[in-house]
A and B are shown apart, each in its own frame.
Chain A
Amino acid sequence: MGIIKMKRSNIIMLIAALLPLGLFFFPLWKITLEAPQYPTPLGMYIHINDFSDVHPHDIKNINLMNHYVGMKYIPEAIPEFKIFPIGIIITTLIGLIIAFKGNYKWFLFWFILMILLSSAGLYDFYLWEHDYGHDLDPKAIMKFTNPDGSVMGFQPPLFGSKDILNFRAHSYPMLGAFFLGFGIAASFIAYLFGKKHNKIPS
């Protein structure tokens, strides 16, 4: 059996299953911190399995800034860096099996699975960000409070831009996230194609 014989919907599903592998080549997310003293902003890429500098030493310098308000150092590694790649590989394998063997209903199953897993990943990322921005050293050099008297947190936005003290923080998806997104979208298109094709008697 060859790819040539495959239905159009299965070909789309095959592409859909492969696209998330782009996460291994391109960053998932980028957080940028702008301030007057940083004409070249500080920045950090979040990969599926790593944090990395946008410019050399950026993470070290973000840590240096953050220690003034008692934030923890950005860890070298987090458990997610092990779990996420395995998750992507497993879901890709499932997607491939479906693409070759399954019918269109399975495409929808894969689409929903990916939506759920991605949402869980984003939520996990949010929790990490929240902890990173709020679990402050009680001996922090500088302590800030909100107008209501509560301790000010320094959580970067999950998506979008936000002012944090002298910094303006930006948080946006990168190419890797688009690969994942297009993969998920493609599986839904594959489902629609498959459904349409199925109605026409052949």
Chain B
Amino acid sequence: MKNILKSTLALLSVLVAFTSCDNASKSNNSGALSSSAAEKVYVAPGEHDEFYAFISGGFSGQLSVYGLPSGRLFKVIPVFSQDAEKAYGYNEETKPMLNTSHGFVPWDDAHHPDISQTNGVVDGRWVFINGNNTPRIAKIDLSTFETTEIIEVPNSAGNHSSSFVTENSEYVVAGTRFSVPIPQKDMPIKDYKGNFKGSLSFISIDPEHGHMDIKFQLIMPGFDYDLSHPGRGKSHGWFFFTTYNTEEASTLMEVNASQNDKDFIAAVNWKKIEDYVNNGGGTMMPANYAHNVYDEATHSATSTMKKEVRIVNPLDVPGAVYFLPTPKSPHGCDVDPSGEYIVGNGKLSANLTVHSFTKMLDAIENNKVAGDAYGIPILNFEDVLAGVVEQPGLGPLHTEFDGKGNAYTTFFISSEVVKWKLGTWDVVDRQPCYYSVGHLMIPGGNSQKPFGKYVVAMNKITKDRYLPTGPEVTQSAQLYDISGEKMELLLDFPTIGEPHYAAGCPADLIKPRSKKLFKLEDNKHPYAALSEADTKVVRDGKIVHVYMTTIRSHFAPDNIEGVKVGDKVYFHVTNLEQDYDVPHGVSIIGANTSELLIMPGQTETFLWEPKQVGVWPFYCTDFCSALHQEMQGYVRVSPANSNTPLKWSLGEDIE
């Protein structure tokens, strides 16, 4: 009996111990943060954040602008998707931005923003970002925070190993994830192997205006080119791409593309190919792709279809491309700030593989070739290996660097960020992510000079981290302080779409250049009315052009007569304001498009096709002033066969 009592007590105490243990670990995981963490992310009212973070919206197609460390959202820049709030892709001026060889494509999957660089340091001039689905690269101007250029990438599919910028912004590089027939043709899918090809596109950037032009496309074997990064410093002139599906499977990929023990990192000496191309190398191939450019002076975009592209066969440029064997379908391909280490994040491997640029050059010089794939030399794994981070976690995806000799790698499966040391390959610290982190971002991370104060982890799964909102919950990012030896979780913040990847830089790089308004005298829009005296209504057959202006708090004209059912009425609205943060908006009842949101000094146009006789009001949609509610007007719509004369006025009755 005594024994039973004793053992019962023992069992109970063990249970109690376990329970309390459980409680303790729970409060460690999700309990209130220490007040110091709260202070670290607190930006007092009216104060500004230290960093900008440009976080892609993933399948939203857009790019969001956050402040760090506060995690506050400032703007969603429409890039690949229509945005009714800002009329992007709805007004006549920006519709051409979304033109492609497949026609108007109002959506894409925006993945990897990257900030332009000068001398290996982020310069805050432009952000480039890739559209995955209908391959495109966009350029966002960081003086206006608007998308000013989009170029379609031909011969590509699933534009994923993109859009990374070389250290003097010579190129923004776009690699294909899906190999396809090049040129496209009708053929059996099962004949993939050996017949499909993968293109790696080097898009030159005009140093002055940032205009993009495809310099050449490298036509590679039919693997999946997953991610990429440029060499820097000593490895400047090279570009590295991870590959998977070196099996060249085309069905049940999760199994069939995971068979090879090692896939490759493709090392591309783009300087060598650039020389080859500059000397007339490569061949022009017929193509059809859109190049869309937004002009700040006309406030309008134009779309041009380009009809050829220069392609380069890697076998024609000996010594330009090598394969570095890398275990198990590597995903992220990350180069450290010195340019020496190339990290292959083998997502199905338990270890992290790090290659050495110096050893790679040595192996090339000494011709230590293990074999070839479609004629491209494969170097020996051991000859290029710098080191291995042993068993750091499960499912390594991406690595960034703090500029102090440390690397930070995300692990999707074990849901954590792991800090390790370059050179010794020792794990220093690990912090959990909530949950299943994908990319991570350190401001300036893809450059020679990272600003290693914070890391943002961008998670794929949110579940219970915020107030629930039905089956679909917000996506989530997390901010960690990495200024000390140990990382410290500071903040969760919700994001738009999928926070796929981000680029960040000190706010001071961008803030002074941010435009406050567009100068009216610089407005070269063909339908601008630069003063109320210039306003008019012009009929050209069934097309009516309204040259309208806005200023607090009225439209000019605000009474229009003589419009008829069946007309196409273009409202060209110029905002005459020249003061910071005084936009006006406008729409009219029944318009089959979005409102306009017109910045000071800007002209935008929307189309209205009146279908019913009557007198229809329009009004200002952005609360502009104390008399905003009075900012309204009327259009009289007469029957199609009527003779109502065209008239317009402001401040007096129409005679």
Contact = CB atoms under 8 A, between A and B. Distances in A.
Interface of A: 40, 56-57, 60-61, 64, 68, 141-142
A68 B627 contact: yes
Contacts of A40: 580
A64 B626 contact: no
B579 A57 contact: yes
Nearest to B46: A39
A96 to B, nearest CB: 42
B550 to A, nearest CB: 12
Given A57-B579, A61-B578, A64-B552, 13 more contacts: A40-B580, A56-B578, A57-B578, A60-B578, A60-B579, A61-B579, A64-B551, A64-B577, A64-B579, A68-B626, A68-B627, A141-B627, A142-B626
Contacts of B552: 64
Interface string B550-580: 0110000000000000000000000001111
Contacts of B577: 64
Interface string B216-257: 000000000000000000000000000000000000000000
Contacts of A141: 627
Contacts of B551: 64
Nearest to B578: A57
Interface in B621-655: 626-627
A162 to B, nearest CB: 22
Nearest to B519: A56
Contacts of B627: 68, 141
B650 to A, nearest CB: 14
Nearest to B626: A68
Query: Closest 5 interchain pairs by CB?
Result: A57-B578, A61-B579, A64-B552, A60-B578, A141-B627
A141 B628 CA distance: 12
16 contacts: A40-B580, A56-B578, A57-B578, A57-B579, A60-B578, A60-B579, A61-B578, A61-B579, A64-B551, A64-B552, A64-B577, A64-B579, A68-B626, A68-B627, A141-B627, A142-B626
Nearest to A58: B579
A68 B627 CA distance: 9
Contacts of A60: 578-579
Nearest to A42: B579
Nearest to B520: A57
A83 B580 CA distance: 36
A142 B630 CA distance: 13
Contacts of B579: 57, 60-61, 64
A141 B553 CA distance: 11
A40 B516 CA distance: 12
A40 B626 CA distance: 20
Contacts of A61: 578-579
Q: Does more than half of chain A's interface fall in helix, strand or loop, or is it mixed? A: mixed
A141 B626 CA distance: 10
B575 to A, nearest CB: 13
A68 B553 CA distance: 9
Most buried by B among A40, A56, A57: A57
Nearest to A68: B626
A12 B264 CA distance: 87
**A40, A61, A64: which has the most chain B beta carbons within 10 Å?**
A64
Contacts of A142: 626
A120 B495 CA distance: 65
Interface in B536-555: 551-552
A142 B627 CA distance: 10
A119 to B, nearest CB: 37
A141 B580 CA distance: 23
B518 to A, nearest CB: 12
B130 to A, nearest CB: 37
Contacts of B580: 40
B95 to A, nearest CB: 31
Nearest to B580: A40
A57 to B, nearest CB: 4
A146 B555 CA distance: 32
Interface string B484-515: 00000000000000000000000000000000
B5 to A, nearest CB: 75
A40 to B, nearest CB: 8
A67 B627 CA distance: 12
Nearest to B600: A57
Nearest to B601: A57
A61 B580 CA distance: 10
B419 to A, nearest CB: 41
A57 B520 CA distance: 11
A51 B551 CA distance: 22
A68 B579 CA distance: 16
A68 B551 CA distance: 12
B82 to A, nearest CB: 32
B144 to A, nearest CB: 17
A64 to B, nearest CB: 6
A42 B580 CA distance: 12
B47 to A, nearest CB: 13
A167 B273 CA distance: 64
A106 B580 CA distance: 54
Interface string B569-595: 000000001111000000000000000
A168 to B, nearest CB: 18
Nearest to A57: B578
Contacts of B626: 68, 142
Nearest to A67: B552
Contacts of A64: 551-552, 577, 579
Nearest to B577: A64
A60 B579 CA distance: 9
A142 B552 CA distance: 14
A40 B551 CA distance: 20
Interface in B313-351: none
Interface string B200-211: 000000000000
A53 to B, nearest CB: 10
B515 to A, nearest CB: 12
A120 to B, nearest CB: 36
B281 to A, nearest CB: 51
A202 B551 CA distance: 73
A183 B551 CA distance: 45
Contacts of A68: 626-627
Contacts of B578: 56-57, 60-61
Interface string B609-630: 0000000000000000011000
Nearest to B630: A141
B530 to A, nearest CB: 13
Contacts of A57: 578-579
A165 to B, nearest CB: 11
B237 to A, nearest CB: 44
Nearest to B581: A37
Interface string B470-496: 000000000000000000000000000
A121 to B, nearest CB: 31
A133 B579 CA distance: 23
Nearest to B552: A64
B574 to A, nearest CB: 15
B431 to A, nearest CB: 39
A138 to B, nearest CB: 15
A64 B579 CA distance: 10
Interface in B28-77: none
A57 B517 CA distance: 11
A28 to B, nearest CB: 25
B224 to A, nearest CB: 51
A40 B578 CA distance: 14
A68 B625 CA distance: 10
